[in-house]
Chains A and B, each alone.
Chain A
Amino acid sequence: MDPSTSSDITLDINGEKHALLVDHRTTLLDALRERLDLTGTKKGCDQGQCGACTVLIDGQRAVSCLQLAVAAEGRHITTIEGMAEGGQLHPVQQAFLDLDGYQCGYCTPGQICSAVAMLDEHAAGWPSAVTGDVRTEAAPPELTPEEIRERMSGNLCRCGAYVQIVEAVTRAAAERTGTRPDGIAEKPADPATEVSA
């Protein structure tokens, strides 16, 4: 490859370092799928409109199709392959399985990565476009189905599994805060699952 239009880079993916030579035109999405065999991340529209390629970059959700691989060097990248821990599915993964949060499954890795980071954003008190009062002195927004739909609107599902996706995210959110979906406290929050923002 022409050294003026390619670079040797190291990508940190799911805690593992991967050295590779990339043409600068390579997106993070293509590097994951075509070079590193991490095909869990899906290519949908390839133009930032569908969310199928969502991964976490330094813990924040982002579409990997608009991220150049060379510009992702030095960032901690988490893909769907890195969500489970110690053979245990992530609670969001388990909720999607239990509540049928998909039909064909193509958008699912992106939906799950997006939901995992979205729950962190909500826990940090971030408002959304449907939050009635965004002022800091207002109460933090409750994660209602309307809030979930707005916050997950960057992930399209062409099968239309949205009803179950909202249910799965609702359950995962309730598990995280130790409340049942009906709002009744179930167990004390585990400090290990609290997220600092």
Chain B
Amino acid sequence: MREFGYQRVFDVSGAVAQLAAEPGARYLGGGTNLVDLMKTGVERPARLVDVSRLPLGRIETREDGGLHIGATVTNSELAAHPEVRSRYPALTQAVLAGASGQLRNVATVGGNLLQRTRCGYFGDVTQPCNKREPGSGCPAVAGEHRNHAILGASEHCVAVHPSDMGVALAAFDAVVTYETADGPGGAPSRGELPMADFYLPVGSTPHVETALPSGALITGVTLPPAPVAAHSRYRKVRERASYAFAIGSVAAALDVREGSVHEVRLAFGAVASRPWRAREAERVLTGAPADAAGFAAAADAELAAAAPLSGNGYKVTLIRNLVVAVLTELSEGASR
């Protein structure tokens, strides 16, 4: 591991000023992904700015009835929060489906959004990887790619975003709030990005993952009020029963009235470089009969854009079946 400086900060303005002054620095939250990547040499920061003790550890109910989740709230705290469990149950389920108790107690909401792909080529510094070393190539396209992207990828990168939490956040139209030191005279300046715009298309720049300005610190995530979210579910498929990354997952919320879909939210995990909001499927479903044939047709409409590689075509079938199963379960009334 490369030697590095370390600084603990206690206010947001101090944190963003540190990163503005030293571009080679990185924020340290729980460190469950960053420290691991530093050990293998994938990440080589000159300095860590420890933001874990910033006053961003609260979940608050907003006046509009939504929730604001501070960036240093841990995954465990988020999953256990009474309002999240009752009003956005798929978010609790998504968080609990990820990692282990030990990691969820430490990992933060801000860090979860910024975690890196688990593509084996990205994690191995002896291999080419356009995400880690722009222009070096992508061995996954013709190599090991059974858990890689089927949607929104490019010839330059086919890695998937590993987050479970982000899939539920995408389904619920979450908005990421951040601060930078870009105000007049280096003063703090606030901004926000909806989940739909937070992750950038892969294109030819897979190393540029988010639309966050340089040096920005995520301060939290806002969940707008969404009554449909109270009737939601997250389902994850993985290669062992627990403590593994998804090979496919679905977050869904459904409101059925008189046999027709009144409102639906649908997002997929482990299929793209970002949590994949299935807007085409939502469009097809809205107003359609709430039955298995309708759910399958909606999944097919979304997956028409899928471009699987030679070794991951199973994901198209997997996601289709997951969509039908989760929506069927929700339409049958059990809100779990």
**A interface with B by C-beta (< 8 Å):** 2, 4-5, 7, 23-25, 27, 46-48, 51, 54, 57, 60-63, 66-68, 70-71, 114, 117-118, 121, 124-129, 131-137, 149-155
Which of B3, B99, B241 sits near A24, CB closer than 8 Å?
B3
Stretch from B29-37, B133-141, B151-159, B308-316 forming part of the interface with A: B29-37
Structural contact, A61 and B3, CB atoms closer than 8 A: no
| Cβ B101 vs Cβ A121 within 8 A | yes
**For residue B96, which residues in chain A have a CB less than 8 angstroms away from its CB?**
127-129, 131, 134
Say which one of B82-90, B180-188, B213-221, B318-326 lies at the interface with A.
Answer: B82-90
Distance A131 CA – B38 CA, assembled complex (angstroms):
35
A136 in contact with B4 (CB, 8 Å): no
Q: Which residues of A contact B127 (CB under 8 A)?
A: none
* B89–A135 touching, CB < 8 Å: yes
Q: How far is the CA of A46 from the CA of B105 in the complex (A)?
A: 18
With A25-B38, A128-B96, A135-B85 given, name 12 new contacts (CB 8 A). A25-B3, A48-B32, A60-B76, A63-B106, A67-B35, A68-B6, A129-B96, A135-B86, A150-B242, A153-B243, A154-B99, A154-B101
Lowest 8 CB-CB distances: which A-B pairs, in order? A154-B100, A153-B242, A5-B3, A136-B82, A153-B243, A129-B96, A60-B105, A133-B336
Q: Nearest A residue to B28 by beta-carbon distance? A: A71
Task: Report B-chain residues with C-beta under 8 Å of the C-beta of A152.
Answer: 101
Closest-CB distance, A48 to chain B (whole angstroms): 6
Residue B126 is within 8 A (CB to CB) of chain A in the complex? no
B1 to chain A, nearest CB (A): 5
Q: What residues of chain A lie closer than 8 Å to B3, measured between beta carbons?
A: 2, 5, 23-25
Q: Looking at chain A's contact residues, is the secondary structure mostly helix, strand, loop, or mixed?
A: loop
Q: Is B79 interfacial (CB-CB < 8 Å)? A: yes
Q: Which residue of chain A has the shortest Cβ distance to B98 in the bound complex? A: A129
Residue-by-residue, is B5-20 near A (CB-CB < 8 Å gives 1, otherwise 0)?
1101000000000000
* Separation of A136 and B195 alpha carbons in the complex (Å): 26
When the two chains form their complex, are residues A66 and B85 in contact, meaning their CB atoms are under 8 A apart? no
Shortest Cβ distance from residue A127 to the other chain B in the assembled complex, whole angstroms: 7
B48 sits at the interface (CB 8 A): yes
Nearest residue (CB) in B for A53 is B102
Q: Is the CB of A66 within 8 A of B92?
A: no
Q: Are A25 and B242 in contact (CB under 8 A)?
A: no
Which interface residue of A2, A68, A150, A155 has the most chain B CB atoms within 10 A?
A68
- Cβ–Cβ contact B336 & A66, under 8 A: no
Q: Please, which residues of chain A bring their CB within 8 A of the CB of B5?
A: 4-5, 24
B62 at interface, CB cutoff 8 A = no
Question: A126: nearest residue on chain B (CB-CB)?
Answer: B80
User: Among A54, A63, A67, A132, which residue has its beta carbon within 8 angstroms of that of B336?
Assistant: A132
When the two chains form their complex, are residues B101 and A61 in contact, meaning their CB atoms are under 8 A apart?
yes
Q: Are A135 and B105 in contact (CB under 8 A)?
A: no
Known: A5-B3, A25-B4, A132-B336. A66 touches B101 (CB 8 A): no
Q: Determine if B291 is an interface residue (Cβ-Cβ < 8 Å).
A: no
Q: Which residues of B sit under 8 angstroms from A54, Cβ to Cβ? A: 102
Contact of B31 among A66, A126, A132, A136 (CB under 8 A): A66
Whether the pair B89, A70 counts as a contact (CB closer than 8 A) is no
Question: Cβ of A124: which chain B residues have Cβ within 8 Å of it?
Answer: 80
Taking CB atoms, residues of chain A closer than 8 Å to B97 are: 129
Q: Which residue of A lies closest to B90 (CB)?
A: A134
* Chain A residues in 8 Å Cβ range of B52: 71
7 A-B residue pairs with Cβ-Cβ distance under 8 Å, sorted by A, are A48-B32, A68-B6, A121-B101, A133-B336, A134-B85, A136-B85, A151-B101
**Within the complex, which residue of A2, A4, A51, A150 is in contact with B102, where a contact is CB–CB below 8 Å?**
A51
In the assembled complex, how far is the CB of residue B270 from the closest CB belonging to chain A, in whole angstroms? 16
Provide the residues of chain B in CB contact with A48, threshold 8 Å: 32, 36, 102-103
